[in-house]
Structure 1
């Protein structure tokens, strides 16, 4: 759930990345913003971010299994 105020659900697919830099396969191309540097940052697919009006620096709250998690958008990515 991206925004509980909207009273609608948005299905997200969360993908983890190694904490030692970009993966060697399926790495992200980040045309806007930058790569993740902290545990409370996320990358969003550019198409998803554009649709929802999100940009690097924006704060998002994501509900996962009823638990609230707050993140800052570090960058917008294309992923193969």
Structure 2
């Protein structure tokens, strides 16, 4: 999901949250809010997972200490040569 799409999703979620506090939501709006929240969480998790898959961790001495689980994921995706 493009950044602008994510921003639009957040904007609508916030609009519904404000309306829920002020006057309540209709059944359709409750369904829409639930759907939007699920879409947001799915995209957030995908983005976070992608960031973790790209990470490399180094100690103070400059030695790579990336967890083996992450290294394996990176190898499986062709992101590592070692």
TM (norm. structure 1) is 0.28
Q: Which has the higher strand share?
A: 1
Q: Which has the larger radius of gyration?
A: 2
Q: RCO greater where, 1 or 2, for CA within 8 Å and sep 6 or more?
A: 1
More helix by share: 2
TM-score normalized with structure 2 length = 0.27
